[in-house]
């Protein structure tokens, strides 16, 4: 498997960390090494001596309270999986210089970091900084002094953009359980039973036949029968219950507070005039 296939399998997009995007959104992104093994999270960013952001602060569990410094050169980011991939091994990052997150970067520390990662600056630190091609919304004060009186100035204004995603969460479920209910059923039925009818018939109407001998005891038994109900129960399917899932879409309102920077222009002196220039349309 080549390097490109391994990156695609790990879900890290082949895109530079910067290219005009604000890096403050990447804070707390997961950091992986060149073998896609997790090393920690992005804790902070440092600017170089020119004020341009050039170093990433990787928060790991190796050194308590400090972050390991990694040049942002050739770092790759995947905003979908929230993963930043560094072109260095775990061992290299583990032994890298580690500073407090509040530390202000100076030229001596910059040179120490580039020397550790064997990045050739060609005798000029600015050359290495040009390789970190990105801008950030985090402000760091450069260590080198700047002239206060300049003929022109430029301030970048940032604003936050709301991006709403979706994810599936389990809200409950439906359980089907068969229970048995009983009920009493009354059903009429006709049953026959035998009875004995005793009749006394005069001699004149008696059945002709053999005369029985008189004054002798005689016993006759006549069996009687009756019908009784025989109950039998049969099982059959009454109906079938089916359960299936269906998806419905409902409209929900998402509310979030976004920040937007603006500039306040203050005049110093009575003869100062301010003229508003032509506003350039932003590319949407």
Q: Answer yes or no: is 40 within a domain.
A: yes
Q: Answer yes or no: is 79 within a domain.
A: yes
Q: Answer yes or no: is 18 within a domain.
A: yes
Q: Could you give the number of structural domains in the chain?
A: 1
8 A C-beta contact, residue 176 and residue 208: no
Q: Answer yes or no: is 124 within a domain.
A: yes
**What is the Cα 216 distance to its own chain's centre?**
108
pTM of the entire predicted model = 0.40
Residue closest to 29 by CA, chosen among 251, 275, 21: 21
Strands (E), the chain: 30-32, 38-47, 53-59, 67-71, 76-78, 83-85, 98-99
Q: Answer yes or no: is 153 within a domain.
A: no
Q: Answer yes or no: is 45 within a domain.
A: yes
Tokens for 253, please give them. 């309102």
| HSE of 85, CA atoms in CB hemisphere, 13 A | 23
Q: What is the DSSP secondary structure assignment for residue 208, as one 8-state letter?
A: P
Q: Answer yes or no: is 137 within a domain.
A: no
Tokens for 211, please give them. 């005369």
Q: How far is residue 25's CA from residue 160's CA, in Å, rounded to a whole number?
A: 9
pLDDT reported for residue 202:
87
Provide the residue range defining the domain that includes 91.
3-131
**What is the Cα 131 distance to its own chain's centre?**
35
Q: Answer yes or no: is 44 within a domain.
A: yes
Q: How far is residue 106's CA from residue 109's CA, in Å, rounded to a whole number?
A: 6
**What contacts 226, CB < 8 A, 6 or more positions away?**
191, 192, 193, 194
Q: How far is residue 70's CA from residue 108's CA, in Å, rounded to a whole number?
A: 15
Handedness of CA 170, 174, 177, 182 (dihedral sign): positive
We report the CATH number of the domain holding residue 99 as 2.30.30.240
Per-residue pLDDT for the chain (284 aa), expressed as one digit of tens each?
444 454 444 444 445 565 444 667 788 899 999 999 988 888 888 887 766 778 898 988 765 556 889 988 778 988 889 999 999 998 898 889 988 878 888 888 888 998 899 887 665 554 444 443 333 333 333 333 434 455 667 888 889 898 888 888 898 999 999 999 999 999 999 999 999 999 998 888 877 766 778 888 989 999 999 999 999 999 999 999 999 999 999 888 889 898 998 888 888 887 888 877 766 555 43
- Cross-strand partners of 83: 30, 78
Tokens 């002709």 belong to residue: 208
pLDDT reported for residue 94:
87
């Amino acid at each position: 498997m080549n390097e490109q296939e391994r990156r695609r399998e790990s879900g890290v997009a082949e895109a530079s960390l910067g290219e005009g995007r604000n890096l403050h959104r990447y804070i707390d992104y997961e950091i992986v090494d060149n073998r896609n093994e997790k090393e920690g999270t992005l804790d902070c960013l440092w600017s170089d001596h020119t004020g341009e952001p050039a170093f990433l602060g990787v928060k790991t569990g190796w050194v308590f309270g400090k972050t390991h410094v990694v040049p942002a050169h050739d770092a790759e980011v995947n905003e979908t999986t929230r993963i930043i991939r560094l072109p260095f091994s775990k061992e290299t990052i583990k032994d890298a210089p580690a500073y407090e997150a509040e530390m202000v970067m100076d030229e001596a520390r910059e040179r120490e970091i580039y020397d550790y990662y064997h990045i050739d600056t060609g005798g000029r630190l600015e050359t290495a900084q040009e390789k970190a091609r990105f801008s950030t919304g985090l402000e760091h004060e450069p260590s080198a002094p700047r002239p206060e009186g300049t003929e022109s100035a430029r301030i970048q204004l940032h604003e936050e953009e709301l991006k709403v995603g979706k994810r599936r969460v389990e809200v409950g479920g439906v359980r089907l359980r068969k229970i048995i209910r009983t009920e009493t059923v009354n059903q009429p039925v006709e049953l026959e039973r035998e009875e004995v009818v005793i009749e006394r018939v005069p001699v004149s109407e008696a059945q002709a036949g053999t005369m029985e001998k008189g004054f002798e005891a005689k016993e006759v038994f006549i069996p009687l029968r009756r019908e009784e109900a025989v109950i039998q129960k049969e099982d059959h399917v009454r109906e079938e219950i089916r359960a299936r899932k269906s998806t419905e879409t409902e409209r929900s309102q998402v509310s979030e507070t976004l920040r937007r920077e603006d500039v306040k222009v203050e005049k110093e002196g009575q003869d100062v005039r301010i003229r508003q220039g032509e506003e350039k349309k932003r590319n949407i």
